[in-house]
Structure 1
Amino acid sequence: MDNVRSIGTEFYGDYNDGGYDKILFPCLKSLELVRMQNLVERMDAMEPTTTGMVFPCLKNLSISTCEQLESAPCHFPSLEEFDISQTKSTTFEKISSKLTTLTSLHISGISELASLPEQLLKNNSSLMYLNIWFCDDLVSLSPHGDVWGFYTSLRSLQISNCKKLSYLPDGLHTLRSLENFEDLHSLSFLTITSCKRLMGLPDGLDYLTRLKSLTIGGFCEELDSFPSLSSIQPASLETLELYGWAKLNSLPADIQRFTALTQLWIRNFDQMEALPEWLGKFSSVRYLYLRECKNLMYLPTAEAMQHLIYLHIFFLPQINGKMWKGKRRRVAQNCPYSKYLSPLKTD
């Protein structure tokens, strides 16, 4: 309807007929406004003084390619799914200002949208699906830090083609129901740790083609082995920090694929007694950090470790007692690694 510029109160019929208690569109569940190129105004049926209801059962609202729309109603007491694309940010903010029942929100191509409206984030505690695509002006998800009301409900978060996005909220780790998050092709640093119920890694990690640093582990202690890292792209990864747990007695063998590694951290592999000899194949690794592996007794041969320029050892009681002597903890003269341990940091 390219010629429609305004949707007035006539859209609601004679809503004054029968008094202010009249219910308008009492059974309507879905409403779409699509490709109305010149629509500027869609008036609200209700004045601030009325007590009647409009759209009491509306569950789905879709507004698409209404680029001139400047004003729109905001009375949707039961709305669950809101899909909006190719409209102005002021229109999106007005419509969403009083929404409290959303379970799904899809946003695409909203111009001049720097962040999601604060009231929208605070008031929708049942939101499960949040998709944001092609919002070129989006800088951050939240205008004032982590003011989210859906910490326990959000299951899926998708962000794609938002060129100016520069900040992801720190509160992502508190999203306890999150099942799906990626399409972040430019992500450089990723940390997934201390997830005591996590049994495996999410799908989609193979899309992280620019990942440089990965910190991962501390998962479900019922697992006897570390989850496979085969989905991680090996070419770009430079720093890998592995957190184990009480049961683990070996490193994940598939880390041998990461031939570009320069720094490797190994923590909390409590049942591991020896580092594998293949660790020496990492000719690119220059910095090796071993921390809190209580039963680790054996390192690879000195020849296998000769590429190291820095070795950090912390709380490895089976090794510390052999390598250090005296209160100053000097390197023992007969330590086979002494020529590779300069500079050496110990705690």
Structure 2
Amino acid sequence: MTLWDIEDDGGSLPDGWASNLNSLKSLVIRNYPRLTSMSGAMRYLTSLEELEISGCDEFDPLSDVGAEDDGMEWRHLNCLHTLCFSKLPKLESLPAGLQRVTTLKNLTISDCPNLICLPEWISEFTSLEYLQFTRCAPNLTSLPDVISCLKSLKKLEIGGFQNLTTFPEWISNFTSLENLKIEECPNLTSLPDGMCYLRFLRHLRIQDCLNLTTFPERISELTSLQQLEIIKCPNLTSLPDGMHGLRSLRSLDIRECTNLTSLPDGMHGLSSLQSLEISYCPNLTSLPDGMHGLRSLRRLDIRECTNLTSLPDGMHGLSSLQSLEISDCPNLTSLPDGMHGLSSLQSLKIIRCPNLTSLPDGMHGLSSLQTLRIAGCPNLEKKCEKGIGEDWPKIAHVTDYSNKMLDWI
């Protein structure tokens, strides 16, 4: 048997329920309030490779063992490579038997508010590649140092620590790390310089860090970084000029950074960037002229930047751009004449930009443009009215044009 998925059906697990499951590979137990412990089942689950226990309000792996046992029954899971403990309010410590499970590669511990700390023996998980440690130990002010010993980690997710003010410099120990997510740490004010030693880091996500004010200047040393997400960091006012060194960056997503006033001029150095999204940054008034250097950019979305008044003339250099969306920018008054250089543009959406009154003259030269949507822009819609609008000749070559929102939302 490869999978047994147990959810609450109003009954209880019978005594000896696991006695015939010695070939079971995967076990998922969700939202089962009568589950209190599994110690008696461990000896039978010797082939188990994946185990998830979540949403079980009474589950405590040590509830039915003696003080001398301390959960040693869990040592029988000697094939286990993936373990998830989630939404377990009574979990206070991990069963000691897990320290014998040297095969573990993926460990998730999430939403276990009474788990105060991680045991020192976690350092023995020398094969661990993925760790998610989120929304546990609500009073934690610093991350457990034992995490620094997990030098095989490739993916680390940390989040939900309301009192965490600094991120430890030992992050530099993770020389194999490829994916780092830091979320819901509202009192974190800065990121460690040690991040810049993560030479293999490909994906970095920073979200809901409400007091984060700066990024490391040496971020340019993350030469393998391909995806960067900065979301809901309202006290971040600028991004480091060093970003121009991120030569491998393919996707940049900046959302809900309400005090961000500018983007670095060095953005032209992002030679591999294919996707750029900037949304709900109301204090952003302009985009850098250096954008003309984004020769690989294919998708550009600008949403809810309410104080944005113009787009850079340098946009003509975006020769690979295929999709452009501009929405909810009420102070945008014009589009750049340089748009005629968008030779690969296939889709253009302009939504709820009421102060736009006309399209640039170069629009008729966008020979690749197939789809054009204009809605919530009353003056512009009037000028683009089919056959009679002043700007209609500029877009008459577009095969799929609509100014009716309901046609395409």
Shorter-chain TM range is 0.5 to 0.7
In the alignment, which residue of structure 2 is the partner of 1:214? 276
In the alignment, which residue of structure 2 is the partner of 1:197? 259
In the alignment, which residue of structure 2 is the partner of 1:20? none
Calculate percent identity across the aligned residue pairs: 21
SS state at 1:279 partner:
helix
Counterpart of 2:374, as a letter, is I
Map 1:107-256 → 2, pairs under 5 A: 110-113=150-153, 115-116=155-156, 125-130=163-168, 132-133=171-172, 135=174, 138=177, 141=180, 150-156=185-191, 158=195, 161=198, 163=200, 172-178=206-212, 179-180=214-215, 182=219, 183=222, 185-187=225-227, 188-201=250-263, 208-221=270-283, 225-228=285-288, 230=290, 234-243=294-303, 245-256=305-316
Check conservation: 1:185, 1:207, Cα contact below 8 A.
no
- Cα 1:111/1:309, change in 2 over 3 Å: same
Counterpart of 2:297, as a letter, is L
In the alignment, which residue of structure 1 is the partner of 2:318? 258
In the alignment, which residue of structure 2 is the partner of 1:22? none
Check conservation: 2:282, 2:304, Cα contact below 8 A.
no
- Cα 1:150/1:314, change in 2 over 3 Å: same
- Cα 1:271/1:117, change in 2 over 3 Å: closer
**Distance (Å, rounded) in 2 between the aligned partners of 1:244 and 1:109:** 43
Counterpart of 1:177, as a letter, is N
Q: Deviations over 1:298-347 (max 9, x none)?
A: 112353344422212121111223444xxxxxx34663245322122441
The structure where helix makes up a greater share of residues is 2
1:343 aligns with 2:400: yes
Map 1:14-93 → 2, pairs under 5 A: 89=125
Check conservation: 2:346, 2:370, Cα contact below 8 A.
yes
- Cα 1:139/1:271, change in 2 over 3 Å: closer
**Distance (Å, rounded) in 1 between the aligned partners of 2:146 and 2:313:** 40
Check conservation: 2:287, 2:311, Cα contact below 8 A.
no
How many equivalent residue pairs? 243
**Distance (Å, rounded) in 2 between the aligned partners of 1:193 and 1:117:** 19
In the alignment, which residue of structure 2 is the partner of 1:19? none
- Cα 1:340/1:107, change in 2 over 3 Å: farther
**Distance (Å, rounded) in 1 between the aligned partners of 2:366 and 2:198:** 43
SS state at 2:393 partner:
coil
- Cα 1:162/1:108, change in 2 over 3 Å: farther
In the alignment, which residue of structure 2 is the partner of 1:321? 382
CA drift of 1:106 comes to 11
Q: Deviations over 1:30-63 (max 9, x none)?
A: xxxxxxxxxxxxxxxxxx9xxxxxxxxxxxxxxx
Q: Deviations over 1:215-244 (max 9, x none)?
A: 1254344x6x41425278513211112236
CA drift of 1:212 comes to 0.8
- Cα 1:313/1:307, change in 2 over 3 Å: same
- Cα 1:253/1:134, change in 2 over 3 Å: farther
Q: Deviations over 1:192-214 (max 9, x none)?
A: 13322112236985674432100
**TM-score, L = length of structure 1:** 0.54
The unaligned stretches of length 5 or more in structure 1 are 1-47, 49-69, 71-86, 325-330
Give the greater-gyration-radius structure (CA): 1
Counterpart of 1:213, as a letter, is S
In the alignment, which residue of structure 2 is the partner of 1:43? none
RMSD: 4.4
**Distance (Å, rounded) in 1 between the aligned partners of 2:226 and 2:186:** 25
SS state at 1:230 partner:
helix
**Distance (Å, rounded) in 2 between the aligned partners of 1:162 and 1:107:** 19
Counterpart of 2:322, as a letter, is T
CA drift of 1:140 comes to 5.1
